[in-house]
Chain A
Amino acid sequence: MTEQLTEEMQTPDTHRTHEVRVTVEYLPATKPFHHEYQPAATIGTVQAEAMSFFGVKDHKERDDYKFFLEFHGQRLTNLSETLHQLLGEKREAEFHLVEQITPGGMSK
């Protein structure tokens, strides 16, 4: 009985901890992107949804000018990596959406 009760009480929490609470900050924006993902969600999914939220997109001309997610100072280039692979058992992560280039690039 005690075990059953314990199990029932734990179930909601157990379900909650399956989600990864993701925050993405973008320097020009006043508010961050918040979303919860399954650990199997990929970095590519998080990046795409954050970019959509902030209303930005990659620009392409002679070179690629791209947005990246950055995590603990490292640019994330493997978009197929999952949150679980990146974070392990952690259930919370803060990323920064950053750009590759600023004015002055390329031709005049």
Chain B
Amino acid sequence: MSQLYPEIEKWAVPQAALAKTVAAVLPTGLAGRETGVFWLGERSTIATVSALVMPSGQGVEEHPEQWKVSPAVYGAISLWAKPKHLALLAIAHIHLPGVPVALSWADRNLSVQVPGILAIVIGNGGADRDHSQWSWNVYNRNEYRKMTPPQLGDRIDITPNGRLSTWRADASGVYEVEI
């Protein structure tokens, strides 16, 4: 793998990232709309998630079967993240009740496609709090592959005391928030 996208063997995910992801997405899920969050952090052999960014507001569309984040929001996040040496490590989004907890065709083909990035699907509109019930997928060799339970155990390290900051992003910028 290139210097651009260093190979990731494991992801260190603070326990707080799991809980705060649910806290961030559940209200929108209960309202019957899709949404999601970005996990950012240092990208290296062990990629450490250290920031949760919730796109919301100007430049973000949340609909029952669609969640869109505009280029302006991506740009705002990029502008904020790069000086902090943060890279996008994962995109976690919800599927509403009745929708399979798995990547859709669109999720597989129309989303961020770079080696090692995680795409996570949380079912039941974000009400599935058990992360082992989420769909964890990693992009590699030109496609997303679902991680099996043994792979999850080997490659996802949930750290009880890992540090995490939480942010809200829209087209105008990124702001620290309490989630």
Contacts and interface: CB of A to CB of B under 8 A. Distances in A.
A20 B102 CA distance: 45
A7 B125 CA distance: 69
Interface residues of A, number: 31
A96 B78 contact: yes
Contact of B74 (A54, A98, A104, A105): A98
Interface in B1-35: 2-6, 34
Contact of B109 (A56, A59, A98, A99): A59
A25 B72 CA distance: 14
Interface residue tally on B, bucketed by range: 35 or more
A28 B117 contact: yes
Given A55-B4, A98-B74, A101-B111, A27 B88 contact: yes
Nearest to B109: A59
A28 B110 contact: no
Nearest to A107: B106
Contact of A101 (B4, B68, B117): B68
A54 B81 contact: no
Interface in B106-160: 106-107, 109-114, 117, 119, 121
Nearest to A97: B78
A54 to B, nearest CB: 7
Given A56-B113, A59-B110, A102-B91, A30 B5 contact: yes
Contacts of B104: 103-104, 106-108
**Dominant SS at the B interface?**
mixed
Interface in A35-56: 53-56
B110 A75 contact: no
A103 B82 CA distance: 22
Contacts of A103: 36, 67, 91, 93, 103-104, 106-107, 110-111, 119, 121
Interface stretch (A9-17, A65-73, A79-87): A65-73
Interface of B: 2-6, 34, 36, 43, 65-72, 74-79, 81-82, 87-89, 91, 93, 95, 99-100, 103-107, 109-114, 117, 119, 121, 171
25 contacts: A25-B82, A26-B78, A27-B81, A27-B88, A28-B88, A28-B117, A29-B114, A32-B82, A59-B110, A65-B110, A68-B71, A70-B71, A73-B171, A75-B72, A98-B74, A101-B69, A102-B111, A103-B110, A103-B119, A103-B121, A104-B93, A105-B110, A106-B104, A106-B105, A106-B110
